[in-house]
A and B are shown apart, each in its own frame.
Chain A
Amino acid sequence: MSENNREQFRPDDHPNEHFLLTSIVGSYPKPKWLNRVSDLADDPDSKFTEEQLHEAHDDACRVIVDEHERTGLDTVSDGEMRRNEMVEFFADRIDGYEFNGPVKVWGHNYFDKPSVADDVEYAESWLVDEFEFTQAAASKPVKVPITGPYTLASWSFNEAYDDDAELSYALADLVNEEIEALVDAGARYIQIDEPALATTPDDHAIVGECLDRIVAGVPDEVRIGLHVCYGDYSRIYPELLEYPIDEFDVELCNGDYEQIDVFADPEFTTDLALGVVDVHTTEVESVEEIKENIREGFKVVPPENLTVSPDCGVKLLPREVARRKIENMVTATREIETELDAGEIDLGPEVSAD
């Protein structure tokens, strides 16, 4: 927040004076063949090996990075091709965690909810290999999503700590360690995912304390985003403005921007990363529709503080739908920039919203 660290992501050949950073939230649909070979690697009767699965992950990562670049995104990712689930993946790499088996979420949908059976410790890097591979495969800057400590704590059984706040803080220190390693490896754009905050908004101070620990010692040029989704934001606003982040990333397209006014008063003082395509409908929004959605963001922040992204991870969409949504999102953003350059969009607060 102390400086504008978004300019570093402006591409050299950016066509417009205005620059609305385009980005993704994280997950992307896995190619069907990757799911098939993952099953094969799990099957003891198959000859498919872990090494071959690793090779398949590398291939998938290259494919998705390329797909992101072809849509024109300013910052890309590998679509989390190597990750199975947003808590399990990390719990698997943190000492102190154990897995006991699946538990019900709803109906016959289960989740391998891990237990924190002992003090959590940083044992091995979580994401540095993934980041280095993705960075080598990409020509654009790479964004790294990390599940936040509050969500890692809330979506686990806590056997070892007095309460979930204590566990969250211990995990925040590990996230800080991982971010330092990622920064050393060259990462400049990191997003902390805290979906659990939406279900228990009264814990916003715990998330704030976690973020203080997470960013301790992280250089200012590293852009830190916070992603939250599907909540009642009036319960965490304006408190979230105190968070030590560069960008707050929020899903609002799904709710037709009913909550956008929440962020208008008091003044929004960090950058807003606004969800402009819905990840829960397979209908691909038109460029015109998305431009309308982007304009919703101007009710909260000026163009130089607006980032454009999908509502959430797009992994549940058919891959082609996901690609077309992102493509339209980028096209809409570039058209808005052109209109801003030409002075065709009036940002004055005195102008009515029509």
Chain B
Amino acid sequence: MTELVATTPGLYPLPDWAKDELSELKGHQKGDLISGDEGPEIVETYDRARSEVVGAQVDAGLDRVVEGQLRWDDMLAHPLTVHENVETGGIVRYYDNNNFYRDPQVRGELTPSGDVAAELEAVETDDLQAVLPGPYSLADLATDEYYGDEADFLDAVAGFLAGEVGEFPSHETLFLLEPSLVENPPGDDGGERASEAVDRVAEATDADVVVHTYWGAVPEKTYAHLMDADVDAIGFDFVTDPDASLYNINEYGTKDAVAMGLVDGTNTLVESPETIRDRVEWVDERTHTDFERAYLTTNTELFYLPVNKFEAKLAALGDAAALAEVDA
């Protein structure tokens, strides 16, 4: 019987009051975004906002609790944009969205910074799930002005992320978000490197590691390489391209556990728990794999949504996992 675990890939919308307060405290311009050394008033505001989104996950009955990544002004590029050896360049488009982040230009050695670990320390829960960009996506979102070689740069980013993970407090699960494997997949010899980079980060923790992919399905060659990585689960976007995701699973197999992106993180239409459960069954019936565990999640990060719909989606995920357990 498959254990159903309700969770999310993090990167939440700020509560509306925090949007206002932080706009006021920080400002609206490029130079006003998070730097990693923010003052006490800003820290205190984020603390309150974090408590609120942690509470929302508990209320929704989620089985894993994320920190919410509310400080990540630059979305998945955040771990680099706050780094001392990284300068931030112009505002660039975030994947195919009407969202923008500061281009992180790496100009020195990527030593561990402890920035993300400090956020996780502030969360009080026994069900902590850490969230990081996967090494391939983080390298893809950045500009290398220091390492000079694509392979060396990816290796450095993987080493940096492994160092960050090494400082994390105890956590149940680590989600590595790898949308760039879909949006800008590696070339011929890059697939293996991307997989090895994931391995390097995964080795740094004893927790279960999920490599979550979205904006569609990973091309099959890249997927075949990703299967070589020693992780506990791969995550699939069953909202954007369910058929291609199924194809990868049925053609190349998958891990004993799976993450199912079943709830649309980019649309305000709220899926009912029954709809989510139907989608679980849809995947189950077509994969012929007995999963030990299935993480039920949104396909993408959640900051695209207004707060009311974001909270409704958390509740639907929590209820769906509970419903399905009763039924199973």
Contact = CB atoms under 8 A, between A and B. Distances in A.
Interface of A: 100-111, 113, 115, 117, 155, 157-159, 199-200
A108 B26 contact: yes
B267 interface: yes
Given A100-B268, A108-B27, A155 B98 contact: yes
Contacts of B98: 105, 111, 155, 199
A105 B28 CA distance: 11
Given A105-B100, A106-B91, A107-B32, 13 more contacts: A101-B308, A102-B19, A104-B14, A106-B99, A106-B101, A107-B73, A108-B22, A109-B28, A113-B306, A115-B269, A155-B98, A199-B93, A199-B96
A104 B267 contact: no
Interface string B116-141: 00000000000000000000000000
Contacts of A105: 98-100
A158 B28 CA distance: 28
Contacts of B305: 103
A117 B266 CA distance: 14
Contact of A110 (B19, B101, B267, B269): B19
A202 to B, nearest CB: 11
A115 B307 CA distance: 13
Nearest to B270: A159
Contacts of B198: none
Interface of B: 13-14, 16, 19, 22-23, 26-30, 32-33, 73, 91, 93, 96, 98-101, 266-269, 303-309
A13 B268 CA distance: 55
A159 B306 CA distance: 14
A115 B26 CA distance: 29
Contacts of A159: 267-269
List of 3 A-B pairs having minimum Cβ-Cβ separation, nearest first: A101-B306, A106-B100, A159-B269
Contact of A108 (B19, B101, B267): B19
B129 to A, nearest CB: 22
Nearest to B91: A106
A101 B16 contact: yes
Contact of A104 (B91, B96, B99, B269): B99
A103 B30 CA distance: 18
B30 A107 contact: yes
A158 B96 contact: no
B268 A104 contact: no
Given A157-B267, A159-B268, A199-B98, A102 B16 contact: yes
A104 B99 CA distance: 7
A233 B101 CA distance: 24
Given A102-B16, A103-B305, A115-B268, A108 B32 contact: yes
13 contacts: A100-B308, A101-B306, A102-B19, A103-B306, A105-B99, A107-B26, A107-B28, A107-B30, A107-B33, A108-B32, A109-B28, A157-B266, A159-B268
B96 A100 contact: no
B306 A104 contact: no
Contacts of A103: 13, 303-306
Nearest to A100: B306
Contacts of B309: 100
A101 B91 CA distance: 24
Nearest to B27: A108
Nearest to A99: B306
A158 B306 CA distance: 14
Contacts of B16: 101-102
Nearest to A98: B268
A232 to B, nearest CB: 12
A165 to B, nearest CB: 16
Contacts of B308: 100-101
A325 to B, nearest CB: 23
Among A104, A105, A115, A117, the one with the most B-chain Cβ atoms within 10 Å of its Cβ is A104
Contact of A157 (B26, B33, B91, B268): B268
B292 to A, nearest CB: 35
Contact of B303 (A104, A108, A109, A157): A104
A1 to B, nearest CB: 32
Contacts of B73: 106-108
A111 B100 CA distance: 13
A315 to B, nearest CB: 16
A158 B32 contact: no
Contacts of B304: 103-104
Nearest to A196: B98
B29 to A, nearest CB: 8
A106 to B, nearest CB: 4
B91 to A, nearest CB: 6
B267 A158 contact: yes
B57 to A, nearest CB: 19
A110 B14 CA distance: 11
A225 B33 CA distance: 38
Nearest to A115: B268
A277 to B, nearest CB: 22
A281 to B, nearest CB: 15
A164 to B, nearest CB: 11
A195 to B, nearest CB: 10
Contacts of B269: 115, 157, 159
Contacts of A100: 268, 306, 308-309
A320 B16 CA distance: 35
Contacts of A104: 13-14, 99, 303-304
